[in-house]
Amino acid sequence: MCPELSISTRTRTTPFNSRVEACGVKAYMVYNHMLLPVIYRSLEEDYWHLCEAVQVWDVSCQRQVEIRGTEAQQLVQLMTPRDLSNAQVGQCFYAPLCDESGGMINDPILIKHSDNHWWLSIADSDVKLWAKGLATGFGLDAQVSEPDIWPLAVQGPKAEELISRVFGEEIRKIGFFRSRMLNYQGTKMLVARSGWSKQGGFEIYVNDMELGGQLWDELFAKGEDLNVGPGSPNLIERIESGLLSFGGDMGYDTTPFECGLDRYVSLDADIKSLSLKALKTRKPKTKLIGLVIDQQVKLIDRRVFSKGEILGEITSDSWSPRYSVHLVFAKCELSLIAGREHVELITSTGEISAVITELPFDFNLLGLRGLKNRPGL
Amino acid sequence: MCPELSISTRTRTTPFNSRVEACGVKAYMVYNHMLLPVIYRSLEEDYWHLCEAVQVWDVSCQRQVEIRGTEAQQLVQLMTPRDLSNAQVGQCFYAPLCDESGGMINDPILIKHSDNHWWLSIADSDVKLWAKGLATGFGLDAQVSEPDIWPLAVQGPKAEELISRVFGEEIRKIGFFRSRMLNYQGTKMLVARSGWSKQGGFEIYVNDMELGGQLWDELFAKGEDLNVGPGSPNLIERIESGLLSFGGDMGYDTTPFECGLDRYVSLDADIKSLSLKALKTRKPKTKLIGLVIDQQVKLIDRRVFSKGEILGEITSDSWSPRYSVHLVFAKCELSLIAGREHVELITSTGEISAVITELPFDFNLLGLRGLKNRPGL
């Protein structure tokens, strides 16, 4: 029996709570002091539905840290080693935030409203306190707040069609990681082509408690023929897609290089960023790798072995129904895995060998042919 | 049916996880990215047991933010408006942390190891990021980290007896909110007379994963005749005792004055604290008050009314089996409750009147006679 989740007033409400419950949510996570629904039918049913149809996700827990002021962009640039000098209004950037030692603080989506106005759509840590502490200490003209914005994600192959029925054909012109301020019932909301899946879709930055519920209902009403349903970030899908979770797959002790986020670090840029100096010299100690097991297993030990030696630990894992393999992310000592092709993991039926691979998984390279659709459909 | 809690690797483990499960934990909260067990038998059974016997609590989620360096005390003082100039080694201080506007960031217990070494035993927000941001921005010689320390609380009237059986008679000499470094199996651990209940007891700052499990087992083995059992911060007990929960009863938008923490603000002290200036001038807008209903009710609306006007909102509430009243904390507009003696709340059977009182509840003043023991025992 799984223990229950006790919900107190410390857990902030969202405009969608009652809808999520009415849809029969089965399990939550707590994320940024909020409820994140994670299972409706079953992990696997939710997965196939996400890959085939369209889902509406309450991801209000992706809180917005808002930075305003004449030195807003300066503060944001200080926090990330990714070069933002050419950022355009409406553009979204996946970017690691790092401290002076190069360790990661969070991995938000940065959204530029203007030079003087940014949002950080954050993963699970109180980035507001970090930004505010820096702004206070450095005496920057940058006001940091966490306004009530509750992102609603619409994800899946039919997301564009559904969103166009609510927001109009204009949304088809929004490019990947671009956004526009669109009108909903007389209120302007940011709509971006983004989301924490690789199935395509949008995120609507809902800024009105009441309109949020209305929008949810309208998406369901207008998406009936598209088989719209409730959903959430899905463990199977995000592991297959190689999407990392801050606090699980990487954390304060890891640099972007140690978790494969190299391309989001602008080492040669002429920017004022807290972490650049450290990132130029700090030697990576660990590496986040992929492991593939050619059968369904239950892992009962988080450690990664080779002939009894501990090489690292599992950070996330899931069975992949599409490829019929068990997929694992593992954080390993760089020096201990160099040159290796296999490691051993401990399952409920004993030791098993797993193939080492880069992340994200390249299923072509691995010679795996995925099911396009749910078996039997 | 209550939804389940989905536990990922984002949720950090504690030395006591397996023991907590073996004891049959029924519900968790997530607190500082960790599991906080909150119910074992039932809220009420756990309550009576806490008040009569002795409980062992896994409160690992009270993370320690460690500050070291020649300017450590300076940084801690910057963060809190409570005067720390006369702090002694080993002393513990309940202290609000506030930002430049006087808004609260957290309400930790501060523990002084030395001028150059402090711990902040925190409530539910990433204080590490706040402290680190300030240290970085102000360029202070103060290294901020969050070491693996997992507090284990032993609470209840028989706590002193139980702790003395494990740590020796010396512990009886530890005064309230004082601590000592004591030896356990060859390892020094901080033991303080403190804890999040008013039933008396200690907190052991466990610093070794393996010894933690051993200590748990020893407490249970040596406390059998004291009726030792697993427990946790208990909603009924903490409401009766007037203990506030950060993020629920108060938050970033409230000053210490607005939630009755006046005596932890040293307005006249000659100290360098970020918030003092604002706290001297900022006018309180809200007040955290107590409400008492003379019967058992189910509140179905968080709002507090008077003749249809909204005065504020409920932040926490519980039935009190000892006093046979329903107790409520509510955050109300100061200007709207001035001079009032009653408000109205909405229950499952309609509107009901509640008496306004100060916090913590003064049951003598309220003319309530509490049961000393569980009925029928």
Q: Which of A215, A304, A229 is nearest to A16 (CA)?
A: A215
Report the alpha-carbon distance of residue B101 to residue B251 in Å, rounded. Answer: 13
**pLDDT bracket for residue A377 (50, 70, 90):** very low
| Mean pLDDT (whole number) for B95-105 | 98
Res B14: pLDDT: 94
DSSP run (H or E) holding B335: helix B334-337
pLDDT at B377 over 60: no
pLDDT at A1 over 60: no
Q: Is A10 within 8 Å of B245 when comparing Cβ atoms?
A: yes
- Do residues A337 and A258 make contact, with C-beta atoms less than 8 angstroms apart? no
Using one digit for the tens of pLDDT, what is the confidence trace for B131-186? Answer: 999 999 999 999 999 999 999 999 999 999 999 999 999 999 999 999 999 999 99
Q: Chain-wide mean pLDDT for chain B? A: 96
pLDDT > 70 in chain A, percent: 98
Q: Quick check: B4 contacting A, CB < 8 Å?
A: yes
A81: which residues sit within 8 A by CB, 6+ positions away? A96, A98, A256, A264, A265, A266, A267, A273, A275, A276, A279
Residue B325 backbone dihedrals phi, psi, to 5 degrees: -140, 160
DSSP run (H or E) holding B217: helix B209-222
Report the alpha-carbon distance of residue A23 to residue A37 in Å, rounded. Answer: 11
Q: Quick check: A26 contacting B, CB < 8 Å?
A: yes
Q: Chain-wide mean pLDDT for chain A? A: 96
Res A371: pLDDT: 80
**pLDDT bracket for residue B222 (50, 70, 90):** very high
Q: Is B130 within 8 Å of A135 when comparing Cβ atoms?
A: no
A281: which residues sit within 8 A by CB, 6+ positions away? none
Query: Which residue type does A101 have?
Result: S
Q: Is A5 within 8 Å of B10 when comparing Cβ atoms?
A: no
Q: Quick check: A6 contacting B, CB < 8 Å?
A: yes
DSSP A156-202: STTHHHHHHHHH-GGGGGPPBTBEEEEEETTEEEEEEB--SSSS-EE
3-state secondary structure at position A35: strand
Residues of A in contact with B10 (CB under 8 A): 29, 124, 245-248
Q: Report, in this order, helix, strand and coil percent for chain B, each rounded to 5.
A: 25, 35, 40
Report the alpha-carbon distance of residue A346 to residue A303 in Å, rounded. Answer: 8
Using one digit for the tens of pLDDT, what is the confidence trace for B303-347? Answer: 999 999 999 999 999 999 999 999 999 999 999 999 999 999 999
A 237-256 near B (Cβ less than 8 A)? 245-249, 252
Using one digit for the tens of pLDDT, what is the confidence trace for A15-36? Answer: 999 999 999 999 999 999 999 9
From residue A359, how far is each of A107, A243, A331, A354 by CA, in Å?
A: 17, 9, 12, 15
pLDDT > 90 in chain A, percent: 94
Tokens of B351: 């509107």
Q: Is A10 within 8 Å of B3 when comparing Cβ atoms?
A: no
Res B3: pLDDT: 77
A3: nearest CB among B25, B137, B314: B25
Q: CA of B314, closest CA in chain A: separation in Å? A: 9
Residue B288 backbone dihedrals phi, psi, to 5 degrees: -90, 115
Q: What are chain B's domains?
A: 17-63+149-238 (3.30.1360.120), 64-145 (3.30.70.1400), 243-357 (2.40.30.110)
Report the alpha-carbon distance of residue A20 to residue A24 in Å, rounded. Answer: 7
B 45-64 near A (Cβ less than 8 A)? none
Report the alpha-carbon angle B109-B115-B121, nearest 5: 15
Q: Which residues pair with B250 in a beta bridge?
A: B246
Q: Which of B296, B309, B294 is nearest to B344 (CA)?
A: B309
Residue B313 backbone dihedrals phi, psi, to 5 degrees: -140, 150
Q: Is A10 within 8 Å of B124 when comparing Cβ atoms?
A: yes
Tokens of A272: 């004022």
Tokens of B165: 């059986």
Q: Is A5 within 8 Å of B28 when comparing Cβ atoms?
A: yes
**pLDDT bracket for residue B1 (50, 70, 90):** low
Res A12: pLDDT: 87
Nearest residue on chain A to B30, alpha-carbon basis: A30
Using one digit for the tens of pLDDT, what is the confidence trace for A320-354? Answer: 999 999 999 999 999 999 999 999 999 999 999 99
pLDDT at A319 over 50: yes
Using one digit for the tens of pLDDT, what is the confidence trace for B262-311? Answer: 999 999 999 999 999 999 999 999 999 999 999 999 999 999 999 999 99
Q: Quick check: A1 contacting B, CB < 8 Å?
A: no
* Preceding amide of B81 cis, omega within 30: no
| Mean pLDDT (whole number) for B25-29 | 94
Q: Which residues pair with B291 in a beta bridge?
A: B328, B356
Q: CA of A185, closest CA in chain B: separation in Å? A: 27
**pLDDT bracket for residue B375 (50, 70, 90):** low
Q: Is A6 within 8 Å of B33 when comparing Cβ atoms?
A: no
Using one digit for the tens of pLDDT, what is the confidence trace for A145-184? Answer: 999 999 999 999 999 999 999 999 999 999 999 999 999 9
| Mean pLDDT (whole number) for B34-50 | 97
Report the alpha-carbon distance of residue B360 to residue A133 in Å, rounded. Answer: 32
Q: CA of A281, closest CA in chain B: separation in Å? A: 19
Between B6 and B44, the higher pLDDT residue: B44
Nearest residue on chain B to A145, alpha-carbon basis: B252
DSSP run (H or E) holding B305: strand B303-306
Q: Which of A316, A315, A260, A319 is nearest to A293 (CA)?
A: A319
A 149-208 near B (Cβ less than 8 A)? none
Residue B48 backbone dihedrals phi, psi, to 5 degrees: -65, -40
B105: nearest CB among A6, A129, A316: A129
- Do residues A240 and A327 make contact, with C-beta atoms less than 8 angstroms apart? yes
Residue A302 backbone dihedrals phi, psi, to 5 degrees: -80, -5
Nearest residue on chain B to A144, alpha-carbon basis: B99
Residue A28 backbone dihedrals phi, psi, to 5 degrees: -120, 160
A9: which residues sit within 8 A by CB, 6+ positions away? B245, B248, B249, B302, B314, B315, B316
3-state secondary structure at position B165: helix
Report the alpha-carbon distance of residue A120 to residue B343 in Å, rounded. Answer: 41
| Residue found under tokens 């403190």 | B194
Q: Is A3 within 8 Å of B9 when comparing Cβ atoms?
A: no
Q: Is A130 within 8 Å of B132 when comparing Cβ atoms?
A: yes
Q: Is A245 within 8 Å of B33 when comparing Cβ atoms?
A: no
Report the alpha-carbon distance of residue A372 to residue A52 in Å, rounded. Answer: 9
Using one digit for the tens of pLDDT, what is the confidence trace for A267-290? Answer: 999 999 999 999 999 999 999 999
In angstroms, what is the C-alpha Rg of chain A? 21
Res B373: pLDDT: 63
Report the alpha-carbon distance of residue B196 to residue A63 in Å, rounded. Answer: 29
Q: Quick check: A277 contacting B, CB < 8 Å?
A: no
